[in-house]
């Protein structure tokens, strides 16, 4: 392989080189005492040039390796950045899915799965908030416990599915009679609580009467049968400084009285 000259000669250098070569090759100059010195000088100069070219080649090689290494590092860095961006996107998605799941779980723990209304826990939380709000602002709220009459008979005569259908229709009916900010939940079995914020007993009684009448007028068709039910109500107005369970207990006593008095009626505490 012919060594590539990495240090180009200038035109003057080439000419000088040729002139010295011609002189050295000239047989008439063979006995010139300067010839030997000139030949040695040329030889030394070529060796010097050879060393310099070697140095340049090593330095170029080193430069190329380090440039390749730099390029590799930059590519690796870009790859890692892309990977990190992807991870961040996945983590964002994962986080929003977790938040949504959390919300869903929270909703599930506060909802009655059959009817879709709030459950006992939901109502307990809301009543705590409502009684705090009442004492803080000096406002009132009324609370009614609604219990479907002889519901056991519905299940016993028509089956559990019909009983479930009745529960769902009663829930829809009650909801349609309430305002958006009224609070309604299934307290357990065939028993429900209605809390009416900023509502005194007489107004609450009128709301419950409308609900009672709507339930009485219901015809629930399911599994080839049509069922009608009635409901009894124990109603009370929250007393300042009273706990939610004390309010509920008073409404419950009124409900027992409504049942004892013949059902399908509203009894105030
Ligand atoms: N289908 C159905 N029945 C339920 C559900 N939860 C409770 N029950 C039934 O509701 C009935 C309640 O019966 P009781 O407590 O004796 O009350 P009742 O028959 O309504 O009688 P009174 O309240 O005295 O008028 C029981 O038969 C329970 O099995 C439910 O989610 N679905």
Mention every residue, 6+ apart, whose C-beta is less than 8 A from residue 247. 127, 131, 143, 236, 238, 239
Residue 212 in any domain: the answer is: yes
pTM of the entire predicted model: 0.70
pLDDT in tens, 7-23: 788 898 888 888 888 88
Q: Are 134 and 264 contained in the same domain?
A: yes
Q: For residue 23, what pLDDT is reported?
A: 87
CATH number where 256 lies: 3.30.70.270
Range(s) of the domain holding residue 47 = 11-85
The yes-or-no answer on residue 190 being catalytic is yes
- In this structure, the residue with its CA closest to atom 29 of ligand 1 is 152
Provide the 8-state DSSP code for 200: -
**Helix, strand, coil percentages, rounded to 5, for the chain:** 65, 15, 20
Residue 197 in any domain: the answer is: yes
What proportion of the chain, given as a percentage, has pLDDT over 90? 67
Across 233-247, b (16+ Cβ under 10 Å) vs e yields bbbbbbeeeeebeeb
Q: Which atom of ligand 1 is nearest to the CA of 147?
A: 23
Q: Are 73 and 201 contained in the same domain?
A: no
- What's the CA-to-centroid distance between 48 and ligand 1, angstroms? 111
Answer yes or no: is pLDDT of 1 > 70: no
Q: Are 75 and 129 contained in the same domain?
A: no
- In this structure, the residue with its CA closest to atom 16 of ligand 1 is 152
Q: For residue 2, what pLDDT is reported?
A: 47
Q: Are 159 and 233 contained in the same domain?
A: yes
CB 166 within 8 A of CB 173: no
Q: Which residue has the tokens 């440039």?
A: 67
Q: Are 154 and 246 contained in the same domain?
A: yes
Q: Are 260 and 135 contained in the same domain?
A: yes
Q: Which H or E element spans position 17?
A: helix 11-25
Residue 93 in any domain: the answer is: no
Q: Name the residue of 148, 155, 252 whose CB sits within 8 Å of the most ligand 1 atoms, as the mutation to test its pocket.
A: 155
Q: Which atom of ligand 1 is nearest to the CA of 164?
A: 1
Q: Quick one: tokens of 197? A: 């914020």
């Amino acid at each position: 392989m012919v060594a590539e000259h990495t240090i180009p000669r200038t035109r003057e250098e080439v000419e000088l080189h040729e002139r010295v070569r011609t002189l050295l090759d000239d047989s008439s100059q063979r006995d010139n005492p300067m010839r030997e010195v000139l030949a040695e000088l040329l030889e030394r100069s070529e060796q010097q040039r050879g060393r310099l070219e070697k140095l340049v080649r090593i330095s170029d090689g080193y430069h190329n390796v380090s440039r390749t290494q730099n390029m590799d590092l930059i590519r690796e860095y870009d790859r890692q950045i892309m990977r990190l961006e992807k991870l961040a996107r996945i983590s964002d998605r994962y986080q929003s899915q977790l938040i949504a799941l959390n919300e869903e779980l929270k909703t599930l723990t506060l909802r009655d799965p059959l009817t879709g209304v709030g459950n006992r826990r939901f109502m307990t939380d809301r009543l705590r908030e409502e009684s705090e709000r009442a004492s803080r602002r000096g406002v009132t709220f009324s609370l009614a416990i609604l219990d479907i009459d002889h519901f056991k008979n519905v299940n016993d005569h028509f089956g559990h599915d019909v009983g479930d259908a009745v529960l769902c229709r009663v829930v829809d009916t009650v909801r349609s009679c309430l305002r958006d900010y009224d609070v309604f939940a299934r307290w357990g079995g065939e028993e429900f609580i209605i809390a009416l914020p900023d509502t005194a007993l007489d107004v609450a009684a009128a709301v419950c009467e409308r609900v009672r009448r709507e339930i009485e007028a219901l015809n629930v068709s399911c599994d080839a049968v049509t069922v009608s039910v009635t409901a009894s109500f124990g109603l009370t107005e929250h007393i300042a400084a009273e706990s939610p369970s004390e309010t509920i207990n008073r409404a419950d006593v009124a409900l027992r009285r409504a049942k004892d008095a013949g059902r399908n009626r509203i009894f105030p505490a």
